[in-house]
Amino acid sequence: MLKGIPQILSPELLKVLCEMGHSDRLVISDGNFPAESMGKDAIVIRCDGHGVPEILDAILKVFPLDTYVEKPVNLMEVMPGDDVETPIWDTYKEIIAKHDDRGAEAVGNIERFAFYDEAKTAYAIIATSEKALYANIMLQKGVVVE
């Protein structure tokens, strides 16, 4: 056990977050995301039983977002024709605002298939049991400035 580290962050996940360098990307995926096939060239970490918001909040306590790009956080856009509401995106923006002064301004959207292409180049993919649709989120790591 460590002090000040959210308990939801497993030793395996902490190691991966620490290994990541500036501009490396991390995907936190919902339960429908094809994490294993998208993550063939990445590290896939299972966080079954957890949702994306709790994982996102814990990660952002230790993970700086990139300040050299306009949108270090990206969401998967809803496909045209899908009648899906995405209230979880508001939750994400609230969490991000707790940890980054840019708040919702740090968040962009990527078309679904472009998101998949980007996910294939991510350093790691965290597979959750999140049930919300279009709940995938990609983070780009920044530098720690102390």
Sign of the dihedral through C-alpha 134, 132, 17, 100: positive
* pLDDT in the model for residue 145: 82
64-121 residue pLDDT tens: 999 999 999 999 999 999 999 999 999 999 999 999 999 999 999 999 999 999 999 9
| pTM for the model | 0.96
Q: Indicate the fold that domain 23-140 takes in CATH.
A: RbsD-like fold (3.40.1650)
Beta bridge partners of 91: none
9-30 residue pLDDT tens: 999 999 999 999 999 999 999 9
Q: What angle do CA 37, 41, 46 make, to 5 degrees?
A: 60
**22 included as an active-site residue:** yes
Residue pair 69/140 in contact (Cβ under 8 Å)? The answer is: yes
Q: Which of 22, 68, 82, 90 is catalytic?
A: 22
Q: Domain segments of the chain: what residues?
A: 23-140
For the chain, helix (H) and strand (E) counts, in that order, are: 5, 6
Q: Which of 66, 92, 123, 134 is catalytic?
A: 66
Q: Which of 24, 50, 99, 116 is catalytic?
A: 116
**116 included as an active-site residue:** yes
Closest CA to 59 of 112, 5, 2: 5
